[in-house]
Amino acid sequence: MPEIIKTDLQESGLLTRWEAASNKYDTLNDQLADPATLSQPTLLVSLNKERAELEPIAHLYAEYRRVLSEITQAQHIVDDPNSDGDMRELAGEELKDLMARREVMEGQVIELLCPEDEGNNKNSFIEIRAGTGGSEAALFAGDLLRMYTRFAENKGLRVELVESHETGLGGVKEAVLLVEGKGAYGFFKYESGVHRVQRVPATEASGRIHTSTATVAVMPEVEEVDVHIDPKDLRIDTFCSSGAGGQSVNTTYSAVRITHIPTGVVVSCQDERSQLKNRTKAMRTLRTRIVEAEREKQEASIAQNRRSQVGTGERSEKIRTYNYPQNRVTDHRAGITLHKLDRVMEGDLDDLIAALKSQ
């Protein structure tokens, strides 16, 4: 790999994984050419399947190395003071094209090595709360709200402010965003946790740097619960209905009691004279109760998930630090530091998300 090339892939460790996958592909080719492998049909099928999965990654890596080599050559021509003027101009144009090609391939390998999770396309709720730091924490929470809104809009996603409790001067005590569109949850799922800011508050007269926090919880939207009730899971009892008279009361087994064994939900119905009608109504009631129980379980799970995501909001639990004096943002999980905090706060989160995806 040419030393002149420094890429985000190297910092994130993704380049090492890419090279290892390419080397594995070469090893599989050698194994498949071995006569001992050809005599083992089961092993042959397994190796061919693994090779097919790695093939696009390996081919892209070979092309990537070629492009990096050409970038190095073009860069040498551009930097060489003894180069012919026309040659340097041509090399400069070629360098721009090669750098663009490199960027495209780096985006492609992220998709290849980090396959898309089906859940990434769910809509997501982003809950932002001011943490430690008083009014400055609320101002920072408001900054995060605007950052996420701009990022979502840049990605072509729909953003709706579901709830917001403002504190004045642009501060937010708590806010909830609903983000809708393809990839909504996938783009934001890495943002959950404690975000720490270091800066001089607008209200600070002595110019001292303060440290404050805000917590972010990202949750996929809960879809409508569709319950399938297996007849084998039901115990159906019939009994005589009771009431204030009538031909069928206490004489026919028209009343129905249905027990859903897995959940223990029991419903009964005796409103109708027909056992069939009572059974139909009981099943509708049973389905509704099971749906409600499942929804309550999901909501409890979401609440627990939120608590695990944000912890207590203390500074020591930080996942990312935003340092304004140095225009620096550091993600402590990915181990990446970028000196473009101003752009990040305008919604430029792509480098941070790419680094986290590669973990």
- The rounded mean pLDDT for the chain is 82
The answer to pTM > 0.85 is no
More confident site: 225 or 269? 269
Distance CA 167, CA 212 (A): 16
> Would you place residue 271 in the very low, low, confident or very high pLDDT band (cuts 50, 70, 90)?
low
Is 195 buried (19+), middle (13-18) or exposed (0-12) by CB count in 10 A? Answer: buried
Q: What is the pLDDT of residues 203-245, one digit of tens each?
A: 676 778 899 999 998 888 755 455 677 888 889 888 776 544 4
Give the sheet arrangement for strand 158-168, strand by strand. Answer: 158-168, 171-180, 124-130, 210-220, 193-199, 318-323, 328-331, 336-338
Q: Which CATH number fits domain 8-113: 1.10.4030, 1.10.287, 1.20.58, 3.40.1000?
A: 1.20.58
User: Helix, strand, coil % (nearest 5) of the chain?
Assistant: 50, 20, 30
Q: How confident is the model at residue 106 (pLDDT cuts 50, 70, 90)?
A: confident
Half-sphere exposure of 12 (CA within 13 A, CB side): 23
- Tokens 């379980």 — which residue? 297
Q: Where are the domains of the chain?
A: 8-113, 120-224+310-357, 231-300
Q: Do 24 and 54 touch, CB atoms closer than 8 A?
A: yes
Amino acid at 251: T
At the top level of CATH, which class does the domain 120-224+310-357 belong to?
alpha beta
Confidence of residue 142 (pLDDT cuts 50, 70, 90): very high
Give the per-residue pLDDT at 8: 60
Which of 102-111, 121-130, 147-156, 158-167 is predicted most confidently? Answer: 147-156
Alpha helix locations (H) across the chain? 8-12, 14-32, 35-38, 41-79, 85-113, 135-154, 184-188, 275-310, 341-344, 350-357
Check residue 60 and give its pLDDT: 92
Query: Hey, which of 81-90, 217-226, 251-260 has the most confident mean pLDDT?
Result: 81-90
231-300 architecture in CATH? 2-Layer Sandwich (3.30)
